[in-house]
Every structure is written in C-alpha cells, then in structure tokens.
C-alpha cells in the first residue's frame, strides 16, 4: 500500500566539515556561541542585501572546505539552493568555484534535501566529496515575499523572522565525523492553508507526513532519537505538529524541538520564531554537528520543512504547499561510548541534555513546564 | 479647544484602520484603498463637509480627506465644465499631494538607503 | 472524486483547527496605540494648518490644506528615509497607516527598497507598488462620482 520513501545508506557517508555564518541579530540569539562567524553588519560590506547573501554562502562553502581539511580541487560537486528567485545566491556563489554545481530548490528544507541527495550519490560510490550549502537573508526575503523594509506596518503574531545566515557542510565517503545513515524524501503536502503569515501551519502537515513515512519505513520510534528537530515550523507550527502526530498515535516527547522556535531569545521580537533556509542550515552546521562530534547526541533526526510558495501563486489564490525531507545523523563510532553506552541508560544520558537545553531555550523550557 | 475634537476624531478614524488590521488581517495597501473610497463616498453623499466643519484635521489628515478632495474636485469640475470635469477634476484637486509624495520619495530615495530591521 | 472531497473536508477541518490554535493577542493595547498616534498626527496637521493661516491670513482655506498635507507628506517621507517611520508603524499600526503620512510612507519605502535596481527600473518603476492602488481606486471612484453628478 505504501511505497518506500526512505534510503538506508550502506556506506554511511561522513560529514567531514561544516561552517555557519550568521547576521548580528542571530549572533545574539540562543545559538550565538556555536556559530563559526557572526557578521557585524548584515550588508557584509556589500552594496545590496542580495550581494551580501551571495557572499555569505560563498564564505560558508569556503569555511566548510577548510574545516574538512581538504583542497577545493578534491570536491566533486556542489549542491546548493536558497529562497531567492532562480536561486541566485547559490548559483552566483558557485561561479567562483571550480567544481560542478547542481542547484536545488526545496525552500527552507534545502539543507536536508541537498544532504540527502549528496549522501545518496556518495553511497553509490560515484562521487567522493560533495559540498552542500544554503542560506537566507532577512532583508532579501522581506522584499521578495513581503513588504519594503521601511514600510510602517505591523507583523501578525503568527509571522516568523527570516534568519540571516548561511551554512555549508562537506560530505565524503570516508573520514571522521557524524554519519548520514538514512534519508527520507518527502511528498508535497497541501492542507489548504493560504495565510502567508502563517507558514508553520502550512508546513506542519508535510512534516507529519514525512515523519510518519520515516518511522514506518525504518521501523523506528521517536524514542530511538536523542533529538528530533524540524526546521522552521516556529512556535505555532511545532505545536500543531505535536497535535497532528498525537492524532496519528505517535507522541513526540521532550526530544522533539524546532530550530525556528529555539533560534531567537524571547525579547528579540520575532513572534513565532525564525524561518528561512538559513534557520535549519546554521543550527545544523553549528550546534547539532558539534554535539554529534563530541558524542553528546548519538542519533539525530533532522527534518526541515519548506513552504513551496511564490507571491505570484498566492496572489492568484493558490494555497501554500509544504515539503519536508528528513535525514538521520549518527555520531562516529569512535565517540559513541564517550559517556554511558547505548539505549539502556537513556535517562542518565538525558540529564545533561536537559540542563543544556535550559540554557539553549528559556521559552522552550517554559513550554515544557506548562506541559507537565 | 477644537484640538480635542481633532484628536478624538482623528484617533477614532485611525483606530478603525487598526480594527480592520486585527480582525481581517488586510495589508496596508488595502487599508489605504478602503479609506480613500470611504472618503469619496462620504463626499459624494455630502456628508464629508459637515464632519470636516468641526473635525478639521481629524478627518482631513486621514486618507479619507484625500478621497474626499478627489470627489470634491470631480464634482465641482463637472458642474463648471461638463463631462471633461469628471476626467480632470479629481486629479487636479489632489495634484499637490500626489506630486509632493512622488517628489519627496524620489529625492529621499536618492539620498537614503533602506535599513534592515532588528 | 471521493478522494478530492475527502481532501476538501480535511482541509476545512485543518484550517478551522489552525484558526483556533492561533494565540489570541489582546486587541485593546494596539487599538489604543493606533488611536493615540493617529490622534497626534491629526493634531500636528491641525497645528501646521493653523500656523500657515497665521502667517498667511489671506490664503484660501483649500490652499492652506494643500500646503498642510504637503508638509505632512514631506515629514513622513523624511522619517521613512532615516528609518524612523517603520518603527512608529510597528508601534501604531493603523495609527500611522491611515493618515496621509502613511500614503507618503508607502510611496517612499518601495522607492528606497529598490534603489539598487537603478533610478528608472528601481526607484521610478517600483515607487507605486504599494500606493499605486490608492491612486487608481481614488481616480476611478471620483470619475464615477463625477459622471453621476453630471446627470443629477
């Protein structure tokens, strides 16, 4: 009845390098200390915000290659995408590199999409080294999807804040680092939401669909993961996802969270949280990969969602379809037994993580409290 | 102390705009269009002038006033010139405001740059 | 066909659920802010008008109002340029959209935003992306009113 949507990698491609760069506001957010580089000014010394976004992506790609300690000539392929029309940030960033380029569009799910494709190619032993990259910029997204920056209007409470930031990682067939063990490709799901200020609600059904497919195909449960993280559903969207999954008989526990919801502190005025390609990309390439490298996280289900809308379609009365791709990241065998071994001691392992999370997201802590 | 009336009526009109924002989620362009048309209709039915009498800036500064002077211009031009007045009257009456908005926007956009939000 | 109907029902149910899930914010503070700022802007307009009539007592009332609006438009355009008007707007909402200053802001802000695309295709073309409908609807409506008055 169901067709398989999940690829299980036999050779488990390795993430050998990663890099994240963010704007000043993001640097003051909850993940601030984890980023590789925080820009002092979000124009990044460029004339326009679009140019700044291109430069950010370029910096992230160079940084990831340096972090992997390989030469640029070792790279076979660049997989990248972003939010702008004709994915200009990615393709224009790619013109400065001497390797093949494949542009992807998955809106805010691009990071997982590119990594899943890269892992599939590497797993087939066709290519050795692939760079994945994506980014977004608040000011370019505002002007493409919403209003001029200086227009004096109010943002509705469900709206989200596009993250200014770019992330890149290098995936290889060999080396040390977190491994990509599975990937679930998502379907395009549309539940008829047409409010462009409520992306979380538009994308949550897609996240549910991919999550169900993933658990079904891999015969895993939420408890098998130290962290299940969606990309930019935001505060409202992640609450909706929890409800939707509960309706399907799957309870998402404390190990579930959302990058967008965790991204900013409470007094940064971002309403429902962060969004954009850069949101999940920068969190993955800083916080999550660092924790996987140290072995604090053993197994992470990373599943950013994307809203596949354009202003033209919305103005013509179309609703907003969403898509979600999931990848499973596991820490390297060499760090697997840094602390206590495997699943029997889950509760012991959970403790340090909880305090960690407390410092990461105060608002989330409150949410947890209200649930208990 | 007619400033009190100006404040109360002007504030009330603007609050109506906010009510529209909260309950219908419309964008600022739609709000402006709505209020301009309200202004045209008020003038067409001859209700605008009595309000303007005591509300003064309270009704003239909101974009309703802009709509009213469009209609007022069209009506008086039609009376003096006939059909051609319907074409020329509205814009003639509001030409000052439109030209000013365009001119200042042009000048300031050459001087300044849009800044990012925090 | 059945499947389509199911999806339609599902979507309706989902949208209803989402609507109920959206956190309700208190309306009163924002209504008060818009009232306050809107009222203040109108008072400033009245003040400018009074000053103009004080300095030029022979000026026709209509002309004095035109100058008043031009001054307000200038102030709003300048505040937009230096990046203050959007902050006022964030606080006041309708309070700074409905007055003529909001009209000025909605012309200046896209002009600023699209500066990098050049003077012709950036500033001049994009200037009316937000405020264009205001002028169009106003002109059309006033034309209709004019024609009606032609026959009565």
Residue numbers of B between 16 and 75 with CB closer than 8 Å to A: 21, 25, 27-28
Sketch the domain layout of chain A as residue ranges. 6-172, 182-371
ipTM for the assembly: 0.92
Q: What is the mean pLDDT of residues A40-57?
A: 93
* CATH architecture under which domain A6-172 falls: 3-Layer(aba) Sandwich (3.40)
pLDDT at C64: 92
pLDDT at A354: 40
Decide if C46 is inside a domain.
yes
Tokens of A65: 């290659």
Alpha-carbon A338 to chain mean position: 26
pLDDT at C2: 55
Going by pLDDT thresholds of 50, 70 and 90, the confidence category of residue A358 is very low
Those residues whose C-beta lies under 8 Å from the C-beta of residue A209, and which sit 6 or more positions away, are A186, A187, A189, A324
Nearest chain B residue to A156, by CA: B25
Cα A161 to Cα C67: distance, rounded to the nearest angstrom: 40
Q: Establish how many alpha carbons lie within 13 A of residue B23's alpha carbon, considering only the half-sphere containing its beta carbon.
A: 9
Q: Which residues of B touch A49 (CB under 8 A)?
A: 116
Cα A63 to Cα A168: distance, rounded to the nearest angstrom: 8
* Mean pLDDT, chain C, whole residue set: 91
Which run of H or E residues covers position A20?
Answer: strand A14-22
Check CB contact of B67 with chain C, cutoff 8 Å: yes
* Mean pLDDT, chain A, whole residue set: 88
> Based on the number of CB atoms within 10 Å of its own CB, is B82 exposed (0-12), middle (13-18) or buried (19 or more)?
exposed
Check CB contact of B1 with chain C, cutoff 8 Å: no
pLDDT at C3: 61
pLDDT greater than 60 at residue A347: no
Nearest chain A residue to C91, by CA: A154
Q: Do domains A6-172 and A182-371 have the same CATH topology?
A: yes
DSSP B27: -
Q: For C83, which of A150, A153, A155 is closest by C-beta distance?
A: A150
Alpha-carbon A202 to chain mean position: 17
Cα C44 to Cα C49: distance, rounded to the nearest angstrom: 9
Decide if C12 is inside a domain.
no
Per-residue exposure over A257-268, b if at least 16 CB sit within 10 Å of its own CB, e if not: bbbbbbbbeeeb
Say if the Cβ atoms of B117 and A149 lie within 8 Å: yes
Of A130-139, A161-170, A331-340, least confident by mean pLDDT is A331-340
Report whether A324 contacts A188 (CB < 8 A): no
pLDDT at B25: 78
Pairing mode, if any, of strands A305-307 and A322-324? Answer: antiparallel
Check CB contact of B81 with chain C, cutoff 8 Å: no
Cα C63 to Cα B97: distance, rounded to the nearest angstrom: 11
A340 versus A116: which is more confidently predicted? A116
Q: For A154, which of B21, B114, B116 is closest by C-beta distance?
A: B21
Q: Which of A105, A210, A216, A196 is nearest to A155 (CA)?
A: A196
Decide if C7 is inside a domain.
no
Q: For A152, which of C10, C18, C102 is closest by C-beta distance?
A: C102
Beta-bridge partners for A327: A183, A302
pLDDT at A206: 96
Tokens of A29: 């957010």
Beta-bridge partners for A18: A169
Say if the Cβ atoms of A151 and C109 lie within 8 Å: yes
Sketch the domain layout of chain B as residue ranges. 2-111
Q: Identify the residue among C146, C147, C148 best suited for mutation to test binding to B, counting B beta carbons within 10 A and taking the highest.
A: C146
Residue-wise DSSP of A115-178: HHHHHHHHHTTS-SEEEEEEEE-HHHHHHHHS--TT---PPPTT--EE--EEEEEEEESSSSS-
Decide if C61 is inside a domain.
yes
Q: Which residues of C touch B11 (CB under 8 A)?
A: 34-36, 38-39, 42, 95
Report whether C44 contacts C100 (CB < 8 A): no
The CA distance from B50 to the nearest CA of chain C, in Å, is 15
Give the number of beta-carbon pairs within 8 Å between A and C.
89
pLDDT greater than 60 at residue C146: yes
Q: What is the pLDDT of residues C59-82, one digit of tens each?
A: 998 899 999 999 999 999 999 999
pLDDT at A339: 52
Pairing mode, if any, of strands A100-103 and A77-82? Answer: parallel
Tokens of B13: 């009109």
Topology of the domain comprising A182-371? Peroxisomal Thiolase; Chain A, domain 1 (3.40.47)
Nearest chain B residue to C137, by CA: B33
Cα C39 to Cα C95: distance, rounded to the nearest angstrom: 8
Say if the Cβ atoms of A191 and C116 lie within 8 Å: no
Decide if C23 is inside a domain.
no
Q: What is the mean pLDDT of residues A269-280?
A: 91
Q: What is the pLDDT of residues A199-251, one digit of tens each?
A: 999 999 999 999 999 999 999 999 999 999 999 999 999 999 999 999 999 99
Q: Identify the residue among C6, C14, C17, C18 best suited for mutation to test binding to A, counting A beta carbons within 10 A and taking the highest.
A: C18
Decide if C9 is inside a domain.
no
Range of the domain at C107: 29-151
The CA distance from C109 to the nearest CA of chain A, in Å, is 5
Q: Which residues of B touch C33 (CB under 8 A)?
A: 18
The CA distance from B117 to the nearest CA of chain A, in Å, is 7
pLDDT at A279: 94
Those residues whose C-beta lies under 8 Å from the C-beta of residue A162, and which sit 6 or more positions away, are A83, A136, A137, A138, A141, A142, A274, A275, A276, A278, A279
pLDDT at A338: 56
Question: What Å distances lie between residue A309 and A15, A107, A161, A349, CA to CA?
Answer: 30, 8, 17, 40
Residue-wise DSSP of C47-109: HHHHHHHHH-TTS-HHHHHHHHHHHHHHHHHHHHHTT-HHHHHHHHTHHHHSBHHHHHHHHHH
pLDDT at A246: 94
Q: Identify the residue among B28, B78, B99 best suited for mutation to test binding to C, counting C beta carbons within 10 A and taking the highest.
A: B28
Say if the Cβ atoms of B28 and A42 lie within 8 Å: no
pLDDT at A168: 96
Residue numbers of C between 81 and 100 with CB closer than 8 Å to B: 81-83, 86, 92-100
Beta-bridge partners for A266: none
Subunits close to A (at least 3 CB pairs below 8 A):
B, C
Cα C117 to Cα C129: distance, rounded to the nearest angstrom: 14
Cα C84 to Cα B66: distance, rounded to the nearest angstrom: 24
Percent helix, strand and coil across chain A, each to the nearest 5: 45, 20, 35
DSSP A4: P
Question: What Å distances lie between residue C28 and B15, B22, B24, C25, C34, CA to CA?
Answer: 10, 10, 16, 9, 10
Cα A32 to Cα A23: distance, rounded to the nearest angstrom: 10
Q: What is the pLDDT of residues A286-343, one digit of tens each?
A: 999 999 999 999 999 999 999 998 999 998 999 999 999 999 999 987 776 655 444 4
Q: What is the mean pLDDT of residues C106-135?
A: 92
For chain C, the domain total comes to 1
Neighbours of C131 (CB within 10 A): 26
Cα A229 to Cα A238: distance, rounded to the nearest angstrom: 10
Question: What Å distances lie between residue B12 and B5, B62, C36, C95, CA to CA?
Answer: 10, 10, 9, 9
pLDDT at A157: 85
Report whether B98 contacts B91 (CB < 8 A): yes
Report whether A101 contacts A78 (CB < 8 A): yes
Q: For A138, which of B27, B28, B116 is closest by C-beta distance?
A: B116
pLDDT at A260: 93
Report whether A218 contacts A6 (CB < 8 A): yes
Check CB contact of B80 with chain A, cutoff 8 Å: no
Q: What is the pLDDT of residues A170-180, one digit of tens each?
A: 999 999 999 99
Say if the Cβ atoms of B109 and C148 lie within 8 Å: no
Q: What is the pLDDT of residues B34-77, one digit of tens each?
A: 999 999 999 999 999 999 888 889 999 999 999 999 999 999 99
The CA distance from A295 to the nearest CA of chain C, in Å, is 37
Q: Cα-flanking dihedrals φ and ψ of residue A26, to 5°? A: -65, -35
Cα A113 to Cα A108: distance, rounded to the nearest angstrom: 10
Q: Cα-flanking dihedrals φ and ψ of residue B3, to 5°? A: -60, -30
Residues of C with CB under 8 A from a CB of A: 8, 10-12, 14-15, 17-18, 21-23, 25, 30, 80-81, 83, 85-90, 92-93, 96-97, 102, 105-106, 108-110, 112-114, 116, 129-130
Say if the Cβ atoms of B28 and A197 lie within 8 Å: no
Report whether A163 contacts A140 (CB < 8 A): no
Those residues whose C-beta lies under 8 Å from the C-beta of residue C106, and which sit 6 or more positions away, are A151, B28, B29, B32, C97, C130, C131, C134
pLDDT at C6: 85
Say if the Cβ atoms of C109 and B114 lie within 8 Å: yes
Tokens of A321: 């379809």
């Amino acid at each position: 009845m169901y067709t398989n949507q999940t690829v299980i990698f036999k050779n488990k491609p390795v993430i050998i390098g990663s890099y994240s760069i963010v704007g000043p506001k993001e640097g003051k957010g909850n993940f601030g200390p984890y980023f590789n580089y925080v820009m002092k000014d979000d124009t990044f010394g460029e004339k326009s915000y679009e140019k700044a976004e291109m430069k950010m992506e370029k910096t992230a790609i160079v940084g990831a290659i340096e972090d992997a300690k390989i030469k640029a000539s070792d790279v076979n392929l660049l997989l990248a995408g972003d939010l702008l029309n004709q994915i200009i940030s990615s393709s224009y960033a790619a013109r400065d590199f001497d390797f093949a380029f494949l542009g992807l569009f998955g809106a805010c799910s691009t990071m997982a999409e590119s990594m899943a494709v890269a892992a599939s190619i590497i797993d087939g032993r066709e290519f050795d080294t692939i760079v994945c990259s994506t980014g977004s910029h608040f000011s370019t997204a505002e002007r493409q999807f919403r209003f001029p920056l200086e227009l004096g209007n109010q943002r509705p409470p469900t709206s989200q804040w596009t993250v200014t930031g770019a992330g890149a990682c290098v995936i290889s067939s060999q080396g040390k680092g977190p491994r990509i063990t599975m990937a679930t490709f998502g379907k395009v799901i549309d539940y008829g939401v047409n409010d462009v200020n409520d992306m979380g609600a538009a994308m949550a059904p897609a996240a549910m669909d991919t999550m169900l497919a993933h658990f079904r195909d891999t015969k895993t449960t939420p408890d098998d993961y130290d962290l299940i993280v969606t990309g930019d559903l935001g505060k409202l969207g992640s609450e909706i996802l929890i409800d939707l999954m509960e309706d399907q008989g799957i309870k998402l526990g404390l190990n579930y969270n959302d990058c967008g919801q965790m991204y900013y502190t409470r007094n940064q005025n971002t309403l429902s949280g962060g969004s954009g390609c850069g949101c999940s990309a920068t969190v993955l390439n800083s916080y999550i990969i660092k924790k996987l490298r140290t072995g604090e996280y053993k197994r992470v289900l990373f599943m950013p969602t994307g809203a596949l809308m354009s202003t033209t379609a919305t103005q013509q009365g179309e609703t907003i379809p969403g898509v979600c791709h999931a990848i499973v990241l596991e820490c390297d065998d060499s760090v697997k037994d840094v602390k206590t071994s495997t699943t029997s001691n889950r509760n012991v392992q959970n403790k340090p993580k909880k305090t960690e999370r407390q410092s990461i997201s105060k608002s989330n802590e409150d949410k947890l409290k209200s649930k208990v | 102390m007619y400033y009190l009336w100006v404040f109360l009526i002007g504030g009330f009109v603007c609050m109506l705009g906010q009510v529209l924002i909260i309950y219908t989620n419309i964008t600022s362009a739609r709000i402006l269009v709505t209020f301009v048309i309200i202004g045209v209709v008020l003038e067409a039915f001859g209700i605008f002038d009595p309000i303007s009498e005591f509300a003064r800036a309270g009704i003239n500064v909101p974009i309703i006033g802009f709509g009213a002077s469009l209609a007022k211009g069209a009506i008086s031009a039609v009376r003096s010139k006939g059909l051609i007045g319907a074409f020329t009257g509205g814009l003639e009456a509001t030409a000052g405001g439109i030209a000013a908005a365009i001119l200042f926007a042009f000048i300031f956009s050459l001087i300044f740059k849009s800044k990012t939000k925090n | 066909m059945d499947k389509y109907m199911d999806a339609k029902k599902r979507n309706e149910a989902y949208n209803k659920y989402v609507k109920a899930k959206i956190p309700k914010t208190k309306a009163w503070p924002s209504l008060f802010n818009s009232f306050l700022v809107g009222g203040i802007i109108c008072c400033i307009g009245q003040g400018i008008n009074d000053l103009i009539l004080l300095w030029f007592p022979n000026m026709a009332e209509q002309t004095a109002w035109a100058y008043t609006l031009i001054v307000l438009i200038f102030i709003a355009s300048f505040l937009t340029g230096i990046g203050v008007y959007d902050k006022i707007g964030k606080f006041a909402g309708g309070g700074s959209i409905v007055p003529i200053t909001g009209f000025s802001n909605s012309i200046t802000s896209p002009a600023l935003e699209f500066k990098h695309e050049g003077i012709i295709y950036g500033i001049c073309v994009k200037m009316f992306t937000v405020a264009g409908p205001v002028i169009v609807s106003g002109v059309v409506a006033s034309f209709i009113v004019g024609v009606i008055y032609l026959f009565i």
